[in-house]
Amino acid sequence: MSIRSCKVLHRNIILLLKKETCMPKIKIILNPTAGMNSAKEKIPLIKELLKKYDVDYDMDITQRIGHATEIAERTDGNQYSIIVAAGGDGTCNEVLNGLMTAKNAGRTIPAMSALPIGRGNDFHYGMGLPHGLEENITIIARGNKKFMDVGKVVGGIYPQGRYFGNGIGVGFSTIVGFEAAKLKFIHGFITYVIGAVKTLFLYYHAPYLKMELDELILNQKSIETSIMIGRRFGGAFFMAPSSLNDDGLFDLCIANDPPRLEMMKLMGKYMKGTQSSSPFVSTKRARNVTLTAIDGTLAVHADGETICEKGDSIRIECLHRQIQIICE
């Protein structure tokens, strides 16, 4: 048998297997503006890899903010086995919110995966997925699944609530994100490092908060409170290095009010995930969290998406094992 005949036979076998098993397609939602508009340049490579691994897919390119949520919400889990957020943390967050909206409406939803073509890619990292595109596509092709927790935050510009899959940052990390977004010609985690340094010198003020963590109540200043399902912010800062994304609890990392010099040292510890050794940091675990600003205001993000810039109170709940994700 000739090499060409073997290739034709192989292709026909693949098509037959897909037909016999009624293999659902994979829906890819790609944000071309992710990664400082660099994501669109990766489309040819993504398509090449999908073809290489015989992945049957549809690809939708987002056109505006919120478009990924709309596409995810109307993606039928009976037709598609997996929905892939190709972009950064914002794209992943939009897809997650679309899936949760569909689930709450009683519809069948596909499992979620992601391709890391954004800046920080922290949501993707928190899902336990590797960095490389080809590695991720091989994992998608295998289709192994597990359940993951989902968080819901109520407050700020989302009085009806917004879902998140990686984490909530209150205070320092939110301002850092604002500053990083202003750096239009720098890519990757270095934008967050520069944003952190700028925040340290220009916007350094710890509000006094009332923290309700299940039955525990704390009243203290906090320059940064991280409420995590995943492990990392900004592509480099390990806010909860031991967090599990399916245990039904948030991992909280609370920095009180360190002097600027100590905060600079603490930033180095965050990058190593060793901040719990600092006397300025405490860690907690909780299913329900309410934060109220007694003095000052709350600057809050969820998966990098702004919840409020000067809020008074937020309420956060960990919803156990809400969606399926693709895993190694």
- The answer to whether 43 and 72 are in contact (CB under 8 A) is no
Higher pLDDT, 81 or 175: 81
Please give the Cα distance from 239 to 231 (Å, whole number). Answer: 6
pTM of the model: 0.90
- The answer to whether 313 and 187 are in contact (CB under 8 A) is no
Please give the Cα distance from 75 to 25 (Å, whole number). Answer: 11
DSSP assignments along 88-153, one per residue? SHHHHHHHHHHHHHHHHTT----EEEEEE-SSS-HHHHHTT--S-HHHHHHHHHHT-EEEEEEEEE
21, amino acid identity = T
pLDDT of residue 170: 97
Among the four given CATH numbers 2.60.200.40, 2.60.120.580, 3.55.40.20, 3.40.250.10, the one describing domain 152-323: 2.60.200.40
Report the candidate in 35, 33, 37, 83 with the shortest Cα–Cα distance to residue 58. 83
Look at residue 283 and tell me whether its pLDDT is greater than 60.
yes
Among the four given CATH numbers 3.40.50.10330, 3.30.413.10, 3.40.50.970, 3.10.129.10, the one describing domain 3-148: 3.40.50.10330
81, amino acid identity = S
Domain with CATH 3.40.50.10330 in the chain: 3-148
CA distance to 12, 142, 190, 233, 293, per residue, from 303 (Å) = 43, 27, 18, 8, 21
Rounded to an integer, the average pLDDT of 175-202 is 77
pLDDT of residue 17: 46
- The answer to whether 113 and 325 are in contact (CB under 8 A) is yes
pLDDT of residue 21: 44
Angle between helices 43-52 and 133-142 in degrees, nearest 10: 40
Contacts (Cβ under 8 Å, ≥6 apart) of 188? 119, 235
pLDDT of residue 22: 45
Look at residue 272 and tell me whether its pLDDT is greater than 50.
yes
pLDDT of residue 2: 63
Please give the Cα distance from 246 to 236 (Å, whole number). Answer: 22
Q: Which residues pair with 113 in a beta bridge?
A: 84
- Per-residue pLDDT tens for 232-243? 998 889 999 999
Look at residue 15 and tell me whether its pLDDT is greater than 70.
no
Query: In the predicted model, what is the mean pLDDT of the chain?
Result: 91
The 10 Å CB-count burial string (b at 16+, else e) for 57-90 is: beebebeeeebbbbbbbebebeebbbbbbbbbbb
- The answer to whether 238 and 232 are in contact (CB under 8 A) is yes
pLDDT of residue 185: 65
Q: How many residues does the chain have?
A: 328
Domain with CATH 2.60.200.40 in the chain: 152-323
pLDDT of residue 10: 57
pLDDT of residue 190: 77
168, amino acid identity = I
Burial label, 106 (beta-carbon count in 10 A; 0-12, 13-18, 19+): exposed
Look at residue 26 and tell me whether its pLDDT is greater than 90.
yes
pLDDT of residue 23: 47
Element (H, E) at 27: strand 25-30
